[in-house]
Amino acid sequence: MAILVTGGAGYIGSHTVLYLKEQGEDVIVLDNLSKGYSGALLGTLSYKGDIHDESILDEIFNTHKINSVIHFAASSLVGESVSYPLSYYENNVIGTHRLVKKMVEHDVKHIVFSSTAATYGEPNSIPIEETDPTIPTNPYGETKLAIEKLLKWSDQAYGLKSVCLRYFNAAGADPAGRIGEDHDPETHLIPIVLQAALGKRESIKIFGDDYDTDDGTCVRDYIHVMDLAQAHYLAVKKLQEGAASDVYNLGNGKGFSVNQVVETCKKVTGKTINAELAPRRMGDPAVLIASSEKAKRELGWTPQYQGLEVMVSHAWEWHQNNEDGFEK
Ligand code: UDP
């Protein structure tokens, strides 16, 4: 039995594929390579194609014995989603509708879905728990929440069991240095700071220092990408053992401000990093910190790489050896 990973050539997807293979799983990837890189697949059997393409989904489900799907394929930038909401609804919601329709037709009963802290919007209380209100403040979060609901109703109607994993801020890279984080253009804080450390950028921008936090910059809960990968594996296993559908937060329960991230990057790299103050970025809540007690309790999730320094060190290792990222 194999696991189909959609979006398996992207950042979190490719690290999950690597982790699954290390656990001895049979993995097949579907990725349109619009954002991901074939170099991140390290030779995993893959189909270049889109989740909107029903014929490629039929081909995959007819050719391979797929027992479960891990679904990453999506557009995932908050700012971009505000400018292009229709494209986000099309890629994320309509794309997932196609995928789920084909899963139901081919009697595939388990899906682990890549959801997000953006489903919560501006939190009422910290740390955020799964039962807290979900009021997204941008189309990205809205589309992910709409998919969670699509999955809930598909369980009731078709018996499709799902685990929705709401990640906080993914960080780090494969500790063995085989793959890492590469977006084009890069928008995420840690890789941007590391590009500055490498001299590939003159400076970085700090988006706002007038938030209601200790140093005025936004606070986020960073979680190692390999720890996210572990959670996907555990979620698939739990579904395969007959568990009910559920939703879990994935974070470390510890917040770091933008300034603290920059300081950690300076310490790990030993480089000077020029930072400029810039206006706030639209849609950024001041503080996002997860309670992940439920995932620890119910999935048996045990994050291995909890310190920010470890995450930055692994990312730095990969960036130093791959200054231009994956082959374009
Ligand atoms: N950020 C920043 N400068 C940058 C990129 C990000 O100050 O060049 C801030 C951003 O406003 C947020 C935090 O860093 O508060 C993490 O942003 P990122 O884009 O890495 O992840 P997100 O929180 O959007 O998932």
Q: What is the mean pLDDT of residues 60-89?
A: 96
Question: Left (φ > 0), alpha (ψ -120 to 50) or beta: where does 71 sit?
Answer: beta
Q: How far is the CA of 89 from the centre of ligand 1 (A)?
A: 23
| Mean pLDDT of the region 57-64 | 98
Which residue, judged by its Cα, is nearest atom 16 of ligand 1? 189
Nearest CA to ligand 1 atom 1: 189
Index of the ligand 1 atom closest to the CA of residue 188:
20
Report the candidate in 301, 308, 295 with the shortest Cα–Cα distance to residue 227.
301
Give the residue-averaged pLDDT of 4-29.
Answer: 98
Span from the CA of 280 to the centroid of ligand 1 (angstroms):
10
Distance 188 CA to ligand 1 centre (A): 6
Ligand 1 atom with minimal separation from the 190 CA: 20
Neighbour tally for 164: CB within 10 Å: 25
> Percentage of the chain with pLDDT > 90?
97
Its pTM surpasses 0.85? yes
Q: Which residue minimizes the CA distance to atom 20 of ligand 1? A: 188
User: What's the mean per-residue pLDDT of the chain?
Assistant: 97
Per-residue pLDDT, averaged over 213-233, amounts to: 98
Ligand 1 centroid distance, CA of 325 (Å): 20
The DSSP output letter for 118 is G
Q: Which residues are marked as active site?
A: 140
User: Would you say the CB of residue 201 lies under 6 angstroms from ligand 1?
Assistant: no
Cβ–Cβ < 8 Å for 128, 291: yes
pLDDT band at 283 (very low <50, low <70, confident <90, very high): confident
Give the mean pLDDT of 72-97: 96
Residues 68-73, mean pLDDT to the nearest whole number: 98
Question: What is the arithmetic mean of pLDDT over 177-192?
Answer: 96
Q: What pLDDT digit, counting tens, does each position of 294-313 carry?
A: 999 999 999 999 999 999 99
C-alpha closest to that of 285 among 219, 222, 187: 219
pLDDT at 282: 83
191 in Cβ contact with 183 (< 8 Å): yes
- Predicted confidence (pLDDT) per residue in 169-179, tens digit: 999 999 999 99
Q: What is the pLDDT of residues 129-155, one digit of tens each?
A: 999 999 999 999 999 999 999 999 999
Name the band, by pLDDT with cuts 50, 70 and 90, for residue 328.
confident
Q: What is residue 90's DSSP assignment? A: I
Ligand 1, from 207, 211, 263, 277: best to mutate by most atoms within 8 Å of Cβ?
207
pLDDT tens sequence across 24-52 = 999 999 999 999 999 999 999 999 999 99
Evaluate: CB of 187 within 6 angstroms of ligand 1: yes
